[in-house]
């Protein structure tokens, strides 16, 4: 079984696969509309010096998420996850 991480735990240049969104209702739907669906690949691009917000690449799109929102997305490492 693969270890799960919160999306906010990814460091810049690390990639992972979306496993599950833990938020409910409106926020879950919004994140799915932005491309955070099960099985999609996501990469941490950079974060603000304070650590919030964090910029991610999902497909061809760059998105900035608040840390509290990134904490609701579970990702798994695999062949697309790179440790530093």
Q: How many residues does the structure list for the chain?
A: 84
For residue 46, the cross-strand partners are 55
Domains for the chain: give ranges and CATH numbers. 4-76 (2.30.30.90)
Contact 8, 67 (CB under 8 A): yes
Contact 3, 74 (CB under 8 A): no
Q: Please report the pLDDT score of residue 1 as a whole number.
A: 62
Q: Please report the pLDDT score of residue 44 as a whole number.
A: 93
Q: Please report the pLDDT score of residue 79 as a whole number.
A: 57
| 78 vs 77, higher pLDDT | 77
DSSP 37: -
Peptide bond just before 23 cis, omega within 30 deg: no
pLDDT tens-place string over residues 51-73: 889 999 998 899 999 999 999 99
Contact 10, 76 (CB under 8 A): no
Residue 83 has pLDDT above 70, yes or no: no
């Amino acid at each position: 079984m693969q270890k799960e991480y919160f999306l906010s735990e990814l460091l810049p240049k690390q990639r992972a696969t979306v496993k599950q969104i833990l938020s409910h209702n409106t926020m879950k739907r919004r994140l799915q509309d932005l491309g955070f669906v099960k099985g999609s690949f996501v990469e941490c691009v950079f974060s603000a010096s304070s650590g919030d917000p964090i910029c991610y690449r999902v497909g061809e799109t760059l998105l900035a998420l608040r840390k509290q929102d990134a904490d609701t997305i579970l990702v798994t490492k695999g062949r697309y996850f790179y440790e530093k």
